[in-house]
Amino acid sequence: MGGACYKPPVAEMDLLSWMESRVRARTLPRHVAIIMDGNGRWAETRGRSRVEGHREGSRSVRSVTREARKIGLEALTLYAFSSQNWGRPDEEVGALMQLLAEYLDSERAEIMDNRIRLHTIGETGRLPGFVRERLESVRAASAGNDGMVLTLALSYGGQEEIVQAAQAAARVGPVEADALEAHLWTAGLPPLDLLVRTSGERRISNFLLWQAAYAEMVFVETLWPDFRETDLLGAIADFQQRERRFGLTAAQVTSG
């Protein structure tokens, strides 16, 4: 390897620990969610199949989850499969389901060792049996864990989530914001602080529509398979520069 892009491994380690100490020195977001976009483009630019892009993307899932846990996030929510993704070619949907199953098998020990609690949001009943069984098994095994909550959004749509929450709330009383919120699939998770989308797209794509009301948004050009530990830390550092006002004035927020 040569040329301007080469960075010695030691310098990479230094960069990672330097970024970790920098984000740890400031208030961390409690809950980070990520729209993992760009697997297809990553593969296409390398002349590889879209499925290979998803496979490399699942490696980013591992790296980012590990880093999120390491720095002490309370909750990480990943958009792994949308309600609309069912419309993709059968082969791609099948490969994504297979990757999910492989991920659950290979990560089970790490999830348990790191006291991560696995949670899912979405219409998981639509997933094939071999994925549902694995999800349920890891979910049940990790239910008592007190570390970070890792939420996989699977067969998830934000509009669909709000509709079912409104219907459930209406069955028990007047539909007010608190009542509806209590029926969202994310009930019990910390409020969403930071929403990241990779691959240069600047859309929310039916993800956490309700929960994103006051979330900070960070859009990065990096394609998801290239998004690793330092990219997560960079997004958090960006978040830490923001002034969150929640509808108040800057003077009110700073006076405290």
Interaction site with ligand FPP (CB under 6 A): 36-41, 54, 57-58, 61, 78, 80, 85, 96, 99-100, 103, 152, 224
List 14, 37, 113, 238, catalytic entry: 37
Geometric angle at alpha carbon 48, from 46 and 52, rounded to 5°: 115
Nearest C-alpha neighbor of 38 from the set 229, 226, 219: 226
Beta strands (DSSP E) in the chain are: 31-35, 75-82, 117-121, 149-156, 194-197, 216-219
Residue number, 138 or 215, with CB nearest to ligand FPP: 138
Structure tokens at 113: 């060792």
Residue nearest to ligand FPP (CB): 40
- Angle (deg, nearest 10), helices 50-71 and 90-113: 20
- Angle (deg, nearest 10), helices 50-71 and 9-24: 50
Q: How far is the CB of 150 from ligand FPP (least distance, A)?
A: 9
Residue number, 190 or 200, with CB nearest to ligand FPP: 200
Active site (annotated) includes residue 85: yes
Q: How far is the CB of 254 from ligand FPP (least distance, A)?
A: 39
Neighbouring C-alpha atoms within 13 Å toward the C-beta of 87: 3
The count of other CB atoms within 10 Å of the CB of residue 175 is 15
Q: How far is the CB of 31 from ligand FPP (least distance, A)?
A: 17
Active site (annotated) includes residue 193: no
List 85, 114, 145, 206, catalytic entry: 85
Residue number, 87 or 174, with CB nearest to ligand FPP: 87
Residue number, 54 or 183, with CB nearest to ligand FPP: 54
Q: How far is the CB of 232 from ligand FPP (least distance, A)?
A: 14
The secondary structure of 58-77 as a DSSP string is: HHHHHHHHHHHHHHT-SEEE
Residues 6+ apart with CB under 8 A from 234: 19, 220
Identify any residues that bridge with 196 across adjacent strands, giving them in sequence order: 34, 218
Using left for φ > 0, alpha for ψ between -120 and 50, and beta otherwise, residue 203 falls in beta
Identify the three-state secondary structure at position 156: strand
Residue number, 111 or 184, with CB nearest to ligand FPP: 111
Q: How far is the CB of 193 from ligand FPP (least distance, A)?
A: 21
CA 225 remoteness from chain centre: 14
Q: How far is the CB of 55 from ligand FPP (least distance, A)?
A: 7
Residue number, 29 or 225, with CB nearest to ligand FPP: 225
Residues designated as active site:
37, 85
